[in-house]
Every structure is written in C-alpha cells, then in structure tokens.
Amino acid sequence: MSTGTNANGLDFEALVSEHGAADPLPALQSFEARDGTTLSYRHYPSESDTALVLVHGSGTDSRYLATFARELAASGAAAVYTPDIRGHGPSPVRRGDIDYIHQLEDDLADFIYHVKTENSAITRLVVGGHSSGGGLAIRFAGGEYGHLAAAYLMMAPYLGHDAPTVRNNSGGWAEPSVAKIISLSLLNRLGVKGLNGVTVLQFNLPPEYRDGSETLAYSYRLMTGFNPSNYPDDLRSINVPSLFLTGAEDEAFFADRFESTVRPHVPDADVVTVPGTSHLGLLVNEEGIEIVRQWLQARSRTSSMCTFENS
C-alpha cells in the first residue's frame, strides 16, 4: 500500500519508525493475577522514580507501544510497563474473552501492586492508555482502584460509542453487532449474565498486518470491560493531574472535540492536540512523545503528585 491508509481508515504504516523498528522488543515478563492466571507485560527500565503503566488498544497487544515506551524511558521521564491485557497477546487463555466485566480493572490493580513489589525505587505511578486502553484507564479512574494512580495519561482515548469524540464505528476499524449489544445490555440490567461470552465486536485489521497474535473479535464482557463505565462519571472521578493527547489527523476520533467533551468534567486536565498526526502515528510522533515527557517530568516535581505511600 503506497499510502499506508487502509480501507478501514487507519494508517497502520504510521507505526513503522526507523529508530523503533531497529531495536528488539523487551522480552515478555509475567505476573500472577488474583485468580491465578499468568499475564504478560514488557518493561522499559529507567532511572526515574516514576512508573507509567500504559495499556494498549483494541485488537492487538503491547508490541506497538514499543517506540513510545522506549523513548520515554530513555529520556528519564518514567520507567514504562506495557501489559498485554487479558484475552490478548501471543497465547491468552481465551482470546477475545474475560471471565467477568470488571476483570480488567482487577488485573490492572494486581499489576500495579506487582510493579510496586518488583521495583521499590518507584514512588509515583501513572496509569495511561491508547485508544481502548485509554478507555480502560478512564474506567479504572472511575472505579474502586482509581486512587492507585498519581496521574492519568489518555492518548486518543475511546470514551464510548455515544461520546461526541467518536467517529462512526471508530472510523471503520470496529464492526459492532448492535442488536446483540443492545439485547445483552438489557439482559445485564435484569441481572442475566449467562450470555456475556457472545461475540459482539470485530475489528478490521488488514491481512498483511496479521501474524496470528491479533485479537479480532471481542465478547460482550470484554468489550464492556475495556470501555469506560460511563465516561462523564468516570472523568469526574479524576482528581489528579491528567493529560489527554490526540493527533489532529486521527481517523477514529474527532480530535477537535476532546476539549469541549473532557473540560466540563475534568476542569484541570491538560488537553493537547498534536498537528499532522494520526491515531496510530501518535505513538511514534516525536512532538507527541516530547509533550508527554515534559508533562511527566513537570508532574514529578509538584507536590500534587501523590505517591504509593499516600495512596
């Protein structure tokens, strides 16, 4: 593809970066979640006493975050940890599915405790995510574990299907089974959860970018657990520093609508748009990485940045 832009509207070739492609990925490491399941992550070490736990988006795993994570860690802004979310990665127990809707939040809390245990030098922890990973970070902020994060980094976050920031079907990337989703949502309100493993969402990853490790379909419970619970309520729960970063040329979301959507709920948030940058290009864009670096380092110098001990 000469342009790198696919029929689904996302530019996957934007992830090809000269400096990122040349370096090998860190080896997958593992931790044990509360149910005994072994989950995987990658670690990008740094001299910083700040840790950034960064969650990948839908359909893939932590690999595509490598350039962003590597450069942030090398700059001394943060040690970066990129988990493969349950149901994703090279060999998940059940690809595209989880056991219950809130399980990803439980997993993320377990991982934070793992990071704290493994790296005693860490005094501050930032939770962040890209795309659906940003949606999970927002859900996490609004849930019972939100206090575990000293700050939040949302990179082109998915706010939900009804948010004004979201293009139709995320620019063609996602194909939801709307009738199934509505039916299952109604059943869940009635307390009926036995059908939550039904597939309701599929993704349009072009064949040339597939290697067998992608996750191209989600169950209802995974789709729901990977999204904000209710984005206005979840956003209003954020009372620590937060950065919402988007690319002006985002194919999945309306970048120019984040300010008006986020600001009423998080008045003190930093909302920044990087010019000339796509949805995936945001992860390899030097200007975007520099914005995050400066934001992290500025936050680490302020007393408003809470610590593990204060959590």
Give the span between the Cα atoms of 228 and 212, in whole angstroms: 28
Query: How buried is residue 30: exposed, middle or buried, by Cβ count under 10 Å (0-12/13-18/19+)?
Result: exposed
Taking CA atoms, 52 is separated from 22, 164, 228, in Å, by 23, 28, 20
Residue 45 · residue 122 · CB < 8 Å: no
Q: What is the pLDDT of residue 2?
A: 30
Whose tokens are 């670096």? That residue is: 293
Positions of the chain with pLDDT lower than 70, given as ranges: 1-9, 16-22, 301-311
Query: For residue 282, which of 153, 169, 155 has the smallest C-alpha distance?
Result: 155
Q: What is the pLDDT of residue 8?
A: 56
Give the span between the Cα atoms of 46 and 191, in whole angstroms: 46
pLDDT digits (tens, 9 = 90+) for 161-208: 999 999 988 888 999 999 999 999 999 999 999 999 999 999 999 898
Q: What is the pLDDT of residue 16?
A: 61
Determine which helix (DSSP H) or strand (DSSP E) holds 7, and give its type and residue range: none
Burial 95-134 (b: 16+ CB within 10 A, else e): bbbbbebbbbbbbbbbbbebbbeeeeebbbbbbbbbbbbb
Tokens of 160: 């939900």
Q: Which residues pair with 179 in a beta bridge?
A: none
Residue spans of alpha helices (H) in the chain: 18-21, 66-74, 103-118, 132-142, 178-189, 220-225, 231-236, 258-262, 286-300
Residues ≥6 apart with Cβ < 8 Å to 55: 82, 83, 85, 108, 127, 128, 129, 130, 133, 134, 136, 137
CA dihedral 170, 171, 173, 179 (to 10 degrees): 60
Give the span between the Cα atoms of 30 and 18, in whole angstroms: 29
Burial 275-306 (b: 16+ CB within 10 A, else e): eebbbbbbbbbeebbebbbebbeebbeeeebb
Question: What's the chain's length in residues?
Answer: 311
Q: How many CA atoms lie within 13 A of 148 on its CB side?
A: 24
Q: What is the pLDDT of residue 209?
A: 87
The 3-state DSSP class for residue 281 equals: helix
Q: What is the pLDDT of residue 22?
A: 54
Give the span between the Cα atoms of 116 and 113, in whole angstroms: 5
In the chain, DSSP finds a helix count (H) and a strand count (E) of: 9, 11
pLDDT digits (tens, 9 = 90+) for 85-115: 999 999 899 999 999 999 999 999 999 999 9
Residues ≥6 apart with Cβ < 8 Å to 6: 12, 204, 206
The 3-state DSSP class for residue 10 equals: coil
Residues ≥6 apart with Cβ < 8 Å to 120: none
